[in-house]
Amino acid sequence: MDDDIAGSAQPNARPGDVRVADVSGPDGVPDGKITPDDRIIIPRDPKWLGSFSSSFRFKGFELSADVYTVQGVTKSNQFLYEYNQGGRMDGVLNGVKRDYWTPEKPSNNYFRPHNVNYSEYRDAVGYQDASYVRLKNVTLTYDLPQKWIKTVGLSMVRIYISGDNLITKTKFLSYSPESEVDDYPETRNYTLGLNINF
């Protein structure tokens, strides 16, 4: 908080409370008050998204991979502040581990614990960068040599193993940046199969 809390835009704030920006006023100059006019619009759409696919073949083996990414998206993460979604902010032992503000360790990550799940503007801490990179699929196949399978009247025998949603790299603190906090996350799937052509 400002050194002069009483003279700031949040005169009733205490050390460790959520600090919000005073961005409104005549000609865009802060007016020294926090009002609904200080709200800003946070775009929901990502700045860009993309995918990358590649495959490598060596003798009878083939390895393919698909990578998908979404970048520049901000999302409200109710898991961080909403009691009904598991976002306890009162510092209880069974709560989610957070870097709370304390007199011994002041930080700018999360406001001080409360004995009740309330802090003015607490939902402001729930907006996070939901950008991510996901290894969407990896598949490894092996085609048995023709000289092995022709003797039994087969034209192709392919063994494969595939994995979906294997790795997701993100700063978004929830099960998945693509889902709501109370939704089930995307499953990680593995498939082992055999294709036989006569």
State the pTM of this model: 0.76
Does residue 146 sit in helix, strand or coil? helix
Asked if the structure places residue 1 within a domain, the reply is no
115-164 pLDDT, tens per residue?
655 567 777 778 889 999 999 999 999 998 888 777 887 888 899 999 99
Residue with tokens 């581990």: 97
Average pLDDT over residues 166-174: 91
| pLDDT at res. 131 | 95
pLDDT(90) > 60: no
- Ramachandran bin of 69, using left for φ above 0, alpha for ψ from -120 to 50, beta for the remaining angles: beta
- ∠125-77-84 over CA atoms, to 5°? 100
| pLDDT at res. 1 | 42
Q: Which range marks the domain in which residue 157 is found? A: 43-75+130-198
Asked if the structure places residue 113 within a domain, the reply is no
* Local confidence band at 165 (pLDDT 50, 70, 90 cut-offs): very high
Asked if the structure places residue 118 within a domain, the reply is no
Asked if the structure places residue 137 within a domain, the reply is yes
Asked if the structure places residue 181 within a domain, the reply is yes
Asked if the structure places residue 37 within a domain, the reply is no
Q: Is residue 34 packed enough to be buried (19+ CB in 10 Å), middle (13-18) or exposed (0-12)? A: buried
Average pLDDT over residues 77-89: 70
Asked if the structure places residue 100 within a domain, the reply is no
Contact 113, 125 (CB under 8 A): no
Asked if the structure places residue 196 within a domain, the reply is yes
Instruction: Give the ranges where the chain is alpha helix by DSSP (H).
Output: 146-149
10-60 pLDDT, tens per residue?
888 888 888 888 887 666 677 888 888 888 888 888 999 999 999 999 988
pLDDT(86) > 90: no
Q: Of 75-84, 108-117, 143-152, 183-192, where does the model show the most confidence?
A: 183-192
Q: Is residue 26 packed enough to be buried (19+ CB in 10 Å), middle (13-18) or exposed (0-12)? A: exposed
pLDDT(83) > 70: no
